[in-house]
Chains A and B, each alone.
Chain A
C-alpha cells in the first residue's frame, strides 16, 4: 500500500456523471442492432399462432449494437472489485484464486454441448467425470457416498435435512427439533425450517464453541440433529466434535456439518472420522469455482452409511464392465433435488482444481490458509479487539470495541478499507460478536498483500482516533459513496421504467 487517501471527499474533483454508466435501456436507439441471423431458409407460414397466442412487440426492449453492449458491460465491470485484483477477505466466503484452466476445460465442447437428457451410453465421459468427483470427495470427507445434485450450500443443507427427516421417519419418528448454535450461518435455521423442523438455538460458551453438557441437556428423542459448522464461524475448531457425535448417536440423532469452512482442514482431518453424518461442501469456496457475483455454486453432500439409502436420485453408478449409468432405483430416496444433473459444469471446474492440487496441494491449502489468517490475527491483535481469544484456524473475528469510543463502528471501518483498495471483510457476523469484522484471507494471498491489508487496517485504527470523521464518511474514492439503503427498501424501485412523456 503506497498511498493513503486523505481527501474528505473525492467527489468535488470528479465531474458530474463521471464513473457512472447508464442503464442498457438508456443506450437504446431505434434501429440499432446487435446481432445477425442467417435469412430464414424455410417457407414462412402465417397461420401458426392464433392472435390470442401471439404477443405484441416487447415494449421498450432495447435496440443496441454490439459495440454498445461491449462498452456497457466493460464499463460496468470496472465498477466491481474482484479477487483477481487483490485480497477479498470475506469471512466464511473463502474468496480464493480461480484458476483459468478450470474455465478453459469447462468450455470443452464435449462437456459444454452435452445435453442433460441424453441416453447414458452417449454421455459416458460426463458420467465417468461425475463418478470421479464423487470418489475424490468421498476420500476428502471420509464418507461412503456423496450426492452431487445440490447446486449451492443452502441447497445442500436442505438436501441433508430432508434425508435426516426421511431416515428418522422410516424408523418411526421424524422428530421435531434441529439444534443449531447461535454462531451458525443464517442458512442453517432457514434450511431446517424449510424441511419441516423447529429450530432450537444453543448458546456458545466463552470460547465461542459448544459445551458438551449443554448439548447433552438438549438432546432427547425429539431432536433430529445438530447442525454445526466446523471450524465454527469464529474459526475455532470444535475440539469435542467426536463426543458430540456420540451424544447425538446415543439418542438416535444425527450430526450435520456445515462444510463452508472446509478450507481450514481439507487434507488434515476428515468429517467422517469425526463422527459427522452429513457434510455439504461449497465447491465455490474450498474448490475454487468462481463466485461470479453470487453464483453459480455447487453444494455436494457426503453422508454416513446409515443415510446412503436416502440420497437424492439419480446416483451415478459403475458397472463391472467399467461403464457408467444414472440410477433412479432407490426406493427410500428423498427424490430429486433439481431437474437434470446438478451444476455439472461447476463440478468440471472443481474436479480440475482437485487434480491440479492433488493430495499435497489440498493439504497445503489448509496449512497456508491457516497461517495467513493467524498472521493477520497476530498483526492486528491489540489494535483491534479480539472478542474470543481461543486459537483460530482459517479466519479471525475482531470487533470494533476499541474504535467505538471514537464513535467509529465496524461499518465505517469496512467502508474506509475500500479507500485503501481492499474489499471489506464480512461484517456484523457471526451474530454473537457485536460489531464483528470477520477476516478470511485464504491461501491465495502472498505475504506482501497481507502486509498491505494489515497496514491499511492499522492506519484506519489511527484515523479512528485522529480523524474519525474521515472514517465515518468513507468511502471517498469508490464509484459511488454510501447509499441510502433505507430509501431503497421504503420506496422500492426494482426495475427501469421508460419516462412516461
Chain B
C-alpha cells in the first residue's frame, strides 16, 4: 500500500519544504526519505496512517480544548475551599510572565554551565530559600512533588541508617503520599507502620513511643497534617529513639509563620511547593522540595547546584556532586530522578523573592486569621462541630450530622466547592470534610460559606 506523502502537506512547525528535502537527499546520496528508514523491517512498519484526529489549526484547537475546559466546575467560577495538599494562593502577575521567557522555558537541564548560568543561578537561589524557610542546611534542585519527595526521604533515611527495616508514617500523613511510598518500596522489604491520632488531631505520642522500636529507621510526620492540625516537633523528637525524623510540609506557605522543622532537630524536611503561587492545575506539575542536615548532603537524591569560579575567577554556578546520580552511578545511584521540576522551582524562586520576608509572613498570617474567623463563625452557628481541637494553620475538619457528600452537593448548588470528604481516605468519617482558607478569601466569602452551610444543614434537618 502506498501511503500519502506527508511532504506534500507542509506543517507550520517543520520548516524544511520539498526543495530543502531534495537538496538534502542529494547531499546524503539517497533518492527518497523512505530509504533512510530501511533498517526498520517491513514487518514492523505501519502500513497505514495513524488513526488519530488532526492536523488542527490553532482555531480548531482553541475551540475544542476550551469547550472541554468549560465542562469543569472549578475555582474559575465557584467559590472554592479545597485544600488537601493543593492550595489556591495569590499568584503575582509577573511570575507567569517571566516564566514564559523562552530562555527559561525552552532550555534544557543545565549540563553546559557556560551557557546555562541563568538556570543554574536561579536553582542556587531556590536552594537558599528552601534552607532559610525550613531551617535546614542543604536543599536540592527539586523533586517531582510532595509525595515522591517523601519516598525519596524514606529511601535516604534507609541509606543512612543501616540494618533496620521499619518506617513509621503518621496516619495523618496525606493518604496519597503514604500510598505512593507503599508503591515505591514494595520490593525493598520494608515494613510500614502507621501511627494514629489523638482527639486533638495530633499524632498519638504514646503509640508512637511504643512503635519506635530499635528496628525503626525513620519516622515521617506531616505538619500541618492532613487533618489540618499542627504537630509538636519537639514532643515527637523526644520519642523517636534514634530514627531519622522526616517532616513533610504539604502546605508550603505555612512556613511563613509556623516554626520550621529544622529548628526542632528534624534531619529531613520534604514537601510540596505548589502553594507558593503555582496553580492547582488538577495536580501537576508541582514541585517537590527536600532539605537536609549538612551531614546527609552526600546522600541527597536529585540535582544540586554549587558555587565555584571560572578560569577568570568570576563567580559561577554548576551542577555538582553528580557522582550520586544515575548518569554516573547507573545501577548504584541514590535515586533515579533525572528530569525534575526545574521550571516550577523557578516559579517558586520568583514567588519567594517577590513576596520576600514580609510577604511570606503576611500570606501565612492572613490565611491563618481567615481560617480562624471561619472556624469561629461556624462554631458560633451551632450547626457543626470540629472533631479535632489541636491548633491549625489554614485548614480544618468540619463534622455535621449528615453525610458530607450530601452537604457538599448542597453547597455546590450555590456555586461553592465546600470541602473534601474525608471518608474516601478514612473509614468512619462519613460526616467529615476538610476545609481550607487562604488570603484570597474575603470576609464576605467566609460569611457566605457559613450562611449557605447553615441553610444546607437546616434543610437536611427538615
Give 8 closest A-B pairs by Cβ, nearest first: A358-B54, A340-B283, A110-B69, A292-B343, A196-B187, A358-B55, A116-B283, A294-B342
Contacts of A69 in B (CB 8 A): 94, 98, 350, 353-354
Q: In this assembly, does A436 line the interface, its C-beta being within 8 Å of a C-beta of chain B?
A: no
- CB pairs A–B below 8 angstroms (16 shown): A42-B372, A53-B259, A129-B68, A136-B52, A152-B338, A155-B148, A199-B330, A267-B46, A273-B46, A296-B341, A336-B179, A361-B14, A444-B13, A447-B24, A473-B311, A483-B309
Which of B208-216, B355-363, B379-387 forms part of the interface with chain A? Answer: B355-363
**Min CB distance, B35 to chain A, in Å?**
9
B37-A189 in contact (CB<8A): no
Contacts of A153 in B (CB 8 A): 338-339
Which of A44-52, A401-409, A459-467 forms part of the interface with chain B? Answer: A44-52
B372-A45 in contact (CB<8A): yes
Contact with B along A103-137 (1 / 0, CB 8 A): 11111111111111111001111101100000110
B7-A80 in contact (CB<8A): no
Alpha-carbon distance between A418 and B117 when the two chains are bound, in angstroms: 13
Alpha-carbon distance between A236 and B387 when the two chains are bound, in angstroms: 63
Contact with A along B279-320 (1 / 0, CB 8 A): 111111100000000000100000111111111101110101
Extra pairs beyond A109-B74, A110-B69 (18, CB < 8 Å): A41-B442, A49-B258, A61-B352, A63-B357, A69-B350, A80-B115, A84-B103, A239-B40, A269-B45, A293-B119, A299-B339, A342-B284, A356-B54, A361-B13, A370-B33, A445-B15, A494-B139, A494-B305
B282-A192 in contact (CB<8A): no
Q: In this assembly, does A290 line the interface, its C-beta being within 8 Å of a C-beta of chain B?
A: yes
Contacts of B320 in A (CB 8 A): 485, 488-489, 492, 494
**Min CB distance, A296 to chain B, in Å?**
3
A186-B117 in contact (CB<8A): no
Q: In this assembly, does A143 line the interface, its C-beta being within 8 Å of a C-beta of chain B?
A: no
Mark out the residues of chain B between 110 and 159 whose CB falls within 8 Å of any chain A CB in the assembled complex: 110, 112-119, 121-122, 124-125, 127-129, 131-133, 137-139, 141-142, 144-148
Residue of B nearest to A61 (CB): B357
Alpha-carbon distance between A218 and B138 when the two chains are bound, in angstroms: 43
Q: In this assembly, does A249 line the interface, its C-beta being within 8 Å of a C-beta of chain B?
A: no
Interface residues on A, range: 35 or more
A55-B417 in contact (CB<8A): no
A66-B94 in contact (CB<8A): yes
Which of B78-86, B164-172, B238-246, B450-458 forms part of the interface with chain A? Answer: B78-86
Alpha-carbon distance between A482 and B309 when the two chains are bound, in angstroms: 9
Contacts of A391 in B (CB 8 A): 36, 38-39
B355-A34 in contact (CB<8A): yes
Mark out the residues of chain A between 139 and 156 whose CB falls within 8 Å of any chain B CB in the assembled complex: 139-140, 142, 151-155
Task: Tell whether A190 pairs with B329 under 8 Å between CB atoms, given A162-B183, A485-B318.
Answer: yes
Contacts of B127 in A (CB 8 A): 494-495
Task: Tell whether A371 pairs with B259 under 8 Å between CB atoms, given A105-B65, A284-B339, A290-B106.
Answer: no
Q: In this assembly, does B400 line the interface, its C-beta being within 8 Å of a C-beta of chain A?
A: no
Alpha-carbon distance between A364 and B16 when the two chains are bound, in angstroms: 11
Task: Tell whether A360 pairs with B55 under 8 Å between CB atoms, given A49-B258, A54-B259.
Answer: yes
Contact with A along B233-274 (1 / 0, CB 8 A): 010000000000000000000011111100100000000000
A165-B187 in contact (CB<8A): yes
A140-B52 in contact (CB<8A): yes
Contacts of B13 in A (CB 8 A): 97, 99, 288, 356-357, 361, 443-444
Residue of B nearest to A122 (CB): B73
Between B4, B51, B61, B82, the greatest number of chain A beta carbons within 10 A of the residue's beta carbon is seen for B61
**Min CB distance, A500 to chain B, in Å?**
16
Q: In this assembly, does A81 line the interface, its C-beta being within 8 Å of a C-beta of chain B?
A: yes
Contact with A along B171-182 (1 / 0, CB 8 A): 000101101101
Contacts of B147 in A (CB 8 A): 338-340
Residue of A nearest to B138 (CB): A494
Alpha-carbon distance between A103 and B104 when the two chains are bound, in angstroms: 14
Between B40, B329, B344, the greatest number of chain A beta carbons within 10 A of the residue's beta carbon is seen for B40
The one of B14, B304, B305, B336 in contact with A187, judged by C-beta atoms closer than 8 angstroms, is: B336
Mark out the residues of chain A between 66 and 116 whose CB falls within 8 Å of any chain B CB in the assembled complex: 66, 69-70, 72-74, 76-85, 88, 90, 93, 95, 97-99, 101, 103-116
Q: In this assembly, does B446 line the interface, its C-beta being within 8 Å of a C-beta of chain A?
A: yes
